[in-house]
Amino acid sequence: MDEQQQEHGGEREPTASEAGTGPETGRGPGPAVRPLDGFTVGVTAARRAEELGALLERRGAQVLHAPALRIVPLPDDTELLAVTRDLTEHVPDIVIATTAIGFRGWIEAAEGWGLGEALLDRLAGVELLARGPKVRGAIRAAGLTEKWSPASESMAEVLDRLLAEGVAGRRVALQLHGEPLPGFVEALRAGGAEVVGVPVYRWMPPEDIGPVDRLLDAVTGRGLDAVTFTSAPAAASLLRRAGERGIREEVLAALRREVLPVCVGPVTAVPLQAEEVPTLQPERFRLGPLVQVLCRELPGRVRPLPVAGRRLEIRGHAVVLDGELRPVPPAGMALLRALARRPGWVVSRADLLRALPGAGRDEHAVETAMARLRVALGAPELIQTVVKRGYRLSLDPRAETDKYGGEEGAGPAAGPQAGAPPLRPMPGCSPGSSTDRAAASPSRP
């Protein structure tokens, strides 16, 4: 819905250096880390998906494209043709234009059917309302003049005005966005109006459902950090497909917790909020502000850890170590997240094996994945091997207090138990080596 609502103009993009990976060893400064480096974002848009994807990639994100719908071309839409003929023969009292691209497309389609002149003649004599400045521009470009446009760009304000003026006995043509606004048509009809929907957008399922299924699998597998929605029909379509596959509850659970759903506006969020999925929206219903929300929220959800005198941020498919981006294989990320859930505490090989995707029962898989993780980090000292016990992050609570301004006992260094004694690196507990003195550290069997 808001995919049509936003239609933002071009925005100047700041120049940013391309983020990359530094050497596997050493602490020299590397390219600046962009706000979305290390995160994966799903894009469900059918229209302007390339533009949104480019905005995200420019800020470092990996993008998974999965258009949840496709738009029926207007010249091929027999339903729109029938409505256009009806409106030229039975002129409405009020026409509500809601989007610029939809209004322009309607006029162009009418011209292709030989009805363009008749449609423009009828629209010139009606009370023409424009939802916002973009559609107002489209109206004027067609040689027409709108009677009124709400400053808020809100359909709620349009509805309030119409009901205050009275609509009893009046014929109202409403440009639809793919599906009606909740309650809008009903309120007009309850006020005595005859409402004719103008379906300038008609949605159909995508011809290739494969990308949608891959996105759903990534959501349930927590392989995405966020999913963007730019239309209410797309959000509804994604949930409908999840239901067809029998994974609707798993998808909803992921969207309520680990995977961040970001909508371009409140109307887009309606299908998700109906399922008690909390969403974020920008203050301005545009693609640029939507991306800015992601740039603020995703890095903000990461808790930096002081490990072995270094600063470690664990992102979706990479880590940021002392301000340097380091890609990590999926198995390594799974291990790192398992260790970070109890930073500084020993995590057994059995627990780590359960965290590995598709590892089976062989604990040797943990050792192999751990070795690769240490190579990817380029700092083996971050993870300590504890003999006959497992592994732990070399968390340094004093570094948390001194170097990063944390309050002692209040951050990650506080450990998973309230009142637990401070954790300190253990002598002799280095990468590839071990000590039974680790038994003195807090751990769980």
Helix (H) or strand (E) holding 54: helix 49-58
Cα four-point dihedral sign 203, 248, 251, 257: positive
Per-residue model confidence (pLDDT) at position 313: 94
Helix (H) or strand (E) holding 129: strand 127-130
Conformational region of residue 378, where left means phi above 0, alpha means psi within -120 to 50, and beta covers everything else: left
- State percent of the chain over pLDDT 70: 79
Give the bridge partners for 130, in sequence order: 97
DSSP secondary structure code for residue 313 in this structure: E
The arrangement of strands across the sheet holding 127-130 comes to 127-130, 94-97, 171-175, 194-198
Nearest Cα to 376, choosing from 314, 425, 428?
314
Long-range contacts of 256-259 (CB under 8 A, 24+ apart): 258/222, 259/219, 259/222, 259/224, 259/225, 259/226, 259/227
Per-residue model confidence (pLDDT) at position 159: 94
Residues 224 and 42: beta-carbon distance below 8 Å:
yes
Which class for 292: exposed (0-12), middle (13-18), buried (19 or more C-beta within 10 A)? middle
DSSP secondary structure code for residue 31 in this structure: S
DSSP secondary structure code for residue 120 in this structure: H
Residues 266 and 245: beta-carbon distance below 8 Å:
no
Residue linked to tokens 């008609």: 202
- Rounded to the nearest 10°, the torsion over CA 418, 420, 423, 429 is -120
Residues of the chain under the 70 pLDDT cut: 1-30, 73-76, 177-182, 359-360, 397-445
**Buried b / exposed e along 35-55 (16+ C-beta atoms within 10 A):** bbbbbbbbbbbbbbbeebbeb
Residues 391 and 378: beta-carbon distance below 8 Å:
no
Give me the amino acid identity at 221.
Answer: G
**Buried b / exposed e along 69-92 (16+ C-beta atoms within 10 A):** bbbbebeebeebbebbeebbeeeb
Instruction: Give the C-alpha separation, 196 to 178, whole Å.
Output: 14
